[in-house]
Structure 1
């Protein structure tokens, strides 16, 4: 992948996927053991409207990036690449598939096996739930549950993705996960409330935003024409003295979001299609907290005058609230927030 231009395969597929009706998983390539830029992710895995999947070497807790799995970063926007990794085999732990050539089970490896494994998990999320989840929500749920285990972001992206949909759809006893999904019109403001019904001293908030962006392949530096401006307000009753607005705190800052410190602009994260962050707060600092979200647009890198002609974009927010030790958190949030609907999950019969 080069930074100076977008491959035609990438741009065409990104445009097909920008309406949010389809989810695609893309293998990032198997040249990760080559030196320098030769080991970088391959088109079309540099897309912003897909899931770019790399390979891990094991299904155990001591997993690492498989040596052949290509590395990031991607462009900005689209800097966090791959989006995640899944088991793709190593010399010590093989990926077994049926071979129609030899009519037998053979061991193989590659990101081309990790990518359909990720699609299997995504399809399982959709099949096991009774709610009409958008493809954005499924993508957000998978990235939200990725575990980086302190591996380099350039090697594993957001981290290792879960191997089963149940790992994504089930919460721990002391946490609750809430999914918000909908459409945003250009320049529309949206306020998303965050329940703070925990019975403890500190809470951990993890939030993952996902959108499908309209792309502009002629301007790779400003590739996405759609973006979200997200402000976290921890306390609505604490006003900013100058502007008389609820006090705002940094949640998705570019320096915290990109571990590689490779921002092209101070607000580079605004134009990303996926952002995820986890942060710990003392409960007494949170009073009716909210995310204020605004849909921004641009054309050829500048503000567009044709705002009314642009289509709405789909957005998804996955929010996990963890109150360590408070096992009644889930039920408490449901009782005090009647507009939330519990997601029913079917039970699979394992053979």
Structure 2
């Protein structure tokens, strides 16, 4: 069952408490004491844009609580988006790396989704550069949010803001957890990121995009679009292989879209703003487990199938070629420096990628996750991976084919929703 409970943190007793320390103190008391609550919505925060050289106490506290107690915090990004840069940047604590910062969208004259003018923009800080993470409708001049006055209960008020969009996302996260006992807040976060659709490409206005699907649509597979969830942990410097269950003998020659989203929990270090996240995960996609790269100094590289090209491979090895340790990947296989990882958002706690390939180029595909740690961190890294395989032109039933060939996969049991009509006299 999903229900709502509110905790009063405002107004603070001291009007000069602009950083809301008193409110933060209450949050630090409530969260550890309430094991029954997994999702918290914050539609308030200190005024003003985040600063790259400083982490606010509010942000650090939420990130630490998310890490220590495995909770999901959903935070409005703020309503100063129509100010000139840099004052239109997101506000704390929406720059959290272990939760979700939510902006607001509206529609242009052609009914296209755009950022609501008041919604603050990214970038976020090191560890979660893509901000806002998600956007939801928060009202606009033509479609305001209707409210009832707290002073005069007969008076209707019209408003708008990210304070109204954040609870939309929080409610979806809570419903996801309420519909399946096996899901954690981290899985819910990964599912929401994975389900987001951007009208163009990931940016710093709409983030990863809009979630227009119902929770049923997020959780359920269709005959030719299947979603698999992996959730576990790994140590820094260790690796884990995640199979992508694409049927081996599928009668299909068209395109296959594979998309995956990864969310991790990271311990944080507020004293090192450039190294704020202590952990991350690096992912590599291997589409074909029999195709390897063969190299020889001053000679062109060759990619060969170890089964089909076995005779040719024996000649290459005899000629001094070396075989790669792993199959050919679709990612750049180079040693990355710390600065390269920063540029590629390698220390971010969210990864979202996709690829489209011919079915013939897939053979036992898989992902490899590599745990990354810094600042001396040896903490295990909790991760959730949401992976979707889509074959829109397939005449069969991909979902049934996968379950038949990969019986180790367990279909998730989802609670249905029952609506009860009552009469209030």
Q: TM-score, normalised by structure 1?
A: 0.88
- Which is higher, the Rg of structure 1 or of structure 2? 2
After superposition, the Cα gap between the structure-2 partners of 1:151 and 1:276, relative to the gap in structure 1 and judged at 3 Å, is: closer
> Structure 2: how far apart are the matches of 1:171 and 1:87?
26
SS of the counterpart of 1:266? helix
2:280, 2:381 within 8 Å by CA — same for their partners in 1?
A: no
2:166 to 106, 111, 115: 115
For each residue in 1:3-44, what CA deviation from the matched residue of structure 2 results, as whole angstroms up to 9, or x when unmatched?
122222212221111236100100000000111111010111
Once the 2 structures are TM-superposed, how far is the Cα of residue 328 of structure 1 from its aligned partner? 0.2
* Residue 239 in structure 1 maps to residue 288 in structure 2: no
> Structure 1: how far apart are the matches of 2:359 and 2:210?
30
Once the 2 structures are TM-superposed, how far is the Cα of residue 276 of structure 1 from its aligned partner? 0.3
Structure 1 unmatched ranges of 5 or more: 254-263
1:343 to 390, 404, 412: 412
1:58, 1:93 within 8 Å by CA — same for their partners in 2?
A: no
Size of the alignment, in residue pairs? 333
After superposition, the Cα gap between the structure-2 partners of 1:222 and 1:82, relative to the gap in structure 1 and judged at 3 Å, is: same
Q: Indicate the larger mover: 180-189 or 117-126.
A: 180-189
* Residue 312 in structure 1 maps to residue 380 in structure 2: yes
SS of the counterpart of 2:168? helix
* Residue 40 in structure 1 maps to residue 109 in structure 2: no
* Residue in 1 that maps onto 2:389: 321
2:177 to 112, 115, 126: 126
> Structure 1: how far apart are the matches of 2:284 and 2:370?
9
1:213, 1:224 within 8 Å by CA — same for their partners in 2?
A: yes
1:28, 1:52 within 8 Å by CA — same for their partners in 2?
A: yes
> Structure 2: how far apart are the matches of 1:339 and 1:61?
45
* Residue in 2 that maps onto 1:274: 350
**Which 4+ stretches in 1 moved above 4 angstroms?**
58-61
Q: Indicate the larger mover: 93-102 or 283-292.
A: 93-102
> Structure 2: how far apart are the matches of 1:172 and 1:251?
33
After superposition, the Cα gap between the structure-2 partners of 1:6 and 1:337, relative to the gap in structure 1 and judged at 3 Å, is: same
1:214 to 255, 267, 278: 267
Once the 2 structures are TM-superposed, how far is the Cα of residue 199 of structure 1 from its aligned partner? 4.0
Once the 2 structures are TM-superposed, how far is the Cα of residue 112 of structure 1 from its aligned partner? 0.9
What do you get for the CA RMSD once the two structures are aligned? 2.4
* Residue 225 in structure 1 maps to residue 278 in structure 2: yes
After superposition, the Cα gap between the structure-2 partners of 1:32 and 1:151, relative to the gap in structure 1 and judged at 3 Å, is: farther
Once the 2 structures are TM-superposed, how far is the Cα of residue 294 of structure 1 from its aligned partner? 1.7
Structure of higher RCO (CA pairs closer than 8 Å, 6+ residues apart): 1
SS of the counterpart of 1:24? strand
